């Protein structure tokens, strides 16, 4: 049997609740398809920060480097500033391992009503491709004149030709294997240096993909269109911040952010890729055993696909479709009463 070594970082809050659910599903689907997983669990988290003063050890990336993939639950705790927790763990992994594509698929499932009129299963099926290592997420900038009337904050956004082009190439190639349509999120009417550059690179990239149709939409109008006509999208590509915002919006169109998966990909496979649901640590519901594990489980399916197990991935996706369409079992965020464990148990029946 194929044997995969997975680095597991449950993290904080509901990350610790949805990660075991994903592992249970991986083990069950592995038993069915002849794949073995061993997990190296890392306790890197806000709890670790409180105890030892760092989210992860100084050689953290080296400890992850030789795994086939990284699975992460979520990071963040109300007691620790987000710039410490996220920039001490999640962001360094994305950047250090050149995971420049953040792939975030969205589907409306039968049995999970969308809050959006006309958003039916089979009709809404698109992918957000988010630039994941540069753009608006930069450490360049600073605060000046603290406490004075002249107080100010400045933050630079960084868009490089190489960094933008590689994620656009990924998006156009992906669209070529899907319905052949790219929508680029822009705001070149308001942000007059970086986003006109982004638009130029989109047009240049499109030349190399003559079979793929493309359009660009200003991010504000695009948000409205995703709500009003979600069925028209195939691949939406956006900068780091635009892609972040679009992915929670898209998840809401599908019924909630608890069901959205994400893959932080290093397409060249120089380094391990990282798989984590779109949602965060949800401190408001953490510790109650009611988090929706669907996003984490779908994320596990993306990891299977990345590891080359396309059939096993579709077993998991099929089980998700069946448990939602065929049983009334839902976590509270989707209007049900099931716990994380009950939902996972019901799903496992369809995986086996
Ligand atoms: P969040 O995604 O944690 O929560 C937003 C809302 O969605 C909350 O009401 C929460 O209860 C609900 N929700 C999220 N996931 C759910 C699930 N699986 N099942 C049921 N309900 C769910 O976003 P936030 O409140 O902005 O952030 C909380 C913390 O998580 C912050 O520290 C933030 O920085 C961090 N965060 C981390 C990641 C990550 O590690 N990848 C992603 C996003 C946010
Ligand atoms: C996400 C999260 C992170 C991001 C935060 C927690 C830094 O919102 O993965 O979508 O913005 O990338
Ligand atoms: Mn986000």
Q: Which atom of ligand 2 is nearest to the CA of 76?
A: 6
- Ligand nearest the Cα atom of residue 77: 1
Half-sphere exposure of 231 (CA within 13 A, CB side): 9
- My answer on whether 39 and 124 are in the same domain is no
The 10s digit of each residue's pLDDT in 241-271 is 999 999 999 999 999 999 999 999 999 999 9
- My answer on whether 237 and 126 are in the same domain is yes
User: Could you list the active site residues?
Assistant: 137, 187, 220, 244, 248
* Residue found by looking up tokens 């029946």 in the block: 349
Closest residue CA from atom 1 of ligand 2: 278
Question: 278: Cβ below 6 Å to ligand 2?
Answer: yes
Ligand 1 test: best mutation among 276, 281, 284, most atoms within 8 Å of CB? 281
Q: What is the CA radius of gyration of the chain?
A: 20
Closest residue CA from atom 5 of ligand 2: 86
Q: What is the ipTM of this complex?
A: 0.99
What's the burial of 276, exposed, middle or buried (CB within 10 Å: 0-12/13-18/19+)? buried
The 10s digit of each residue's pLDDT in 81-93 is 999 999 999 999 9
**Whose CA is closest to 119, among 227, 215, 203, 14?**
227
The 10s digit of each residue's pLDDT in 198-246 is 999 999 999 999 999 999 999 999 999 999 999 999 999 999 999 999 9
pLDDT at residue 6 in the model: 98
Ligand 1 test: best mutation among 15, 76, 299, most atoms within 8 Å of CB? 76
349: CATH: 3.40.718.10
Identify the domain boundary among 200, 227, 253: 253
The 10s digit of each residue's pLDDT in 101-129 is 999 999 999 999 999 998 999 999 999 99
Identify the domain boundary among 253, 282, 312: 253
Q: Which atom of ligand 1 is nearest to the CA of 14?
A: 18
- My answer on whether 301 and 347 are in the same domain is yes
Do 84 and 23 meet the contact criterion of CB atoms below 8 Å apart?
no
Mean pLDDT of the chain: 97
- My answer on whether 147 and 90 are in the same domain is no
pLDDT band at 1 (very low <50, low <70, confident <90, very high): confident
Q: How much is the pTM?
A: 0.97
| CA of 130 relative to ligand 3 center, distance in Å | 10
């Amino acid at each position: 049997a194929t044997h995969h070594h997975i680095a597991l970082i449950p993290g904080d809050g509901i990350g610790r609740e949805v990660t075991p659910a994903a592992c249970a599903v991986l083990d069950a689907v592995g038993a069915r398809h002849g794949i073995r997983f061993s997990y190296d669990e890392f306790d890197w988290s806000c709890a670790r920060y409180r105890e030892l003063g760092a989210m992860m050890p100084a050689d953290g990336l080296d400890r992850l480097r030789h795994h086939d993939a990284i699975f992460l639950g979520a990071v963040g705790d109300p007691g620790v500033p987000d710039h410490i927790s996220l920039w001490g763990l999640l962001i360094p992994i994305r950047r250090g391992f050149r995971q420049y594509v953040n792939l975030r698929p969205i589907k409306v499932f039968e049995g999970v009503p969308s809050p959006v009129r006309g958003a039916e299963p089979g009709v809404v099926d698109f992918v957000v491709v988010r630039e994941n290592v540069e753009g608006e997420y930069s450490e360049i900038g600073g605060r000046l004149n603290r406490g004075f009337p002249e107080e100010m904050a400045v933050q630079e956004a960084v868009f490089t030709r190489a960094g933008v082009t590689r994620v656009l190439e990924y998006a156009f190639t992906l669209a070529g294997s899907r319905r052949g349509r790219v929508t680029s999120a822009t705001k070149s009417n308001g942000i007059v240096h970086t986003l006109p550059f982004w638009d130029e690179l989109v047009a240049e990239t499109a030349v190399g993909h003559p079979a793929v149709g493309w359009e660009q939409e200003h991010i504000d109008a695009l948000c409205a269109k995703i709500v009003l006509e979600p069925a028209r999208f195939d691949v939406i590509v956006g900068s780091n911040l635009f892609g972040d915002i679009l992915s929670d919006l898209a998840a809401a169109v599908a019924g909630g952010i608890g069901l959205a998966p994400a893959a932080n990909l290093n397409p060249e496979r120089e380094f391990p890729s990282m798989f984590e649901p779109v949602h965060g640590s949800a401190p408001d519901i953490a510790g109650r055993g009611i988090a929706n594990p669907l996003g984490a489980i779908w994320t596990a399916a993306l990891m299977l696909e990345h590891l080359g197990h396309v059939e096993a991935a579709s077993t998991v996706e099929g089980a998700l479709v069946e448990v939602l369409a065929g049983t009334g079992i839902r976590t509270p965020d989707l209007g049900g009463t099931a716990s994380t464990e009950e939902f996972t148990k019901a799903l496992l029946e369809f995986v086996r």
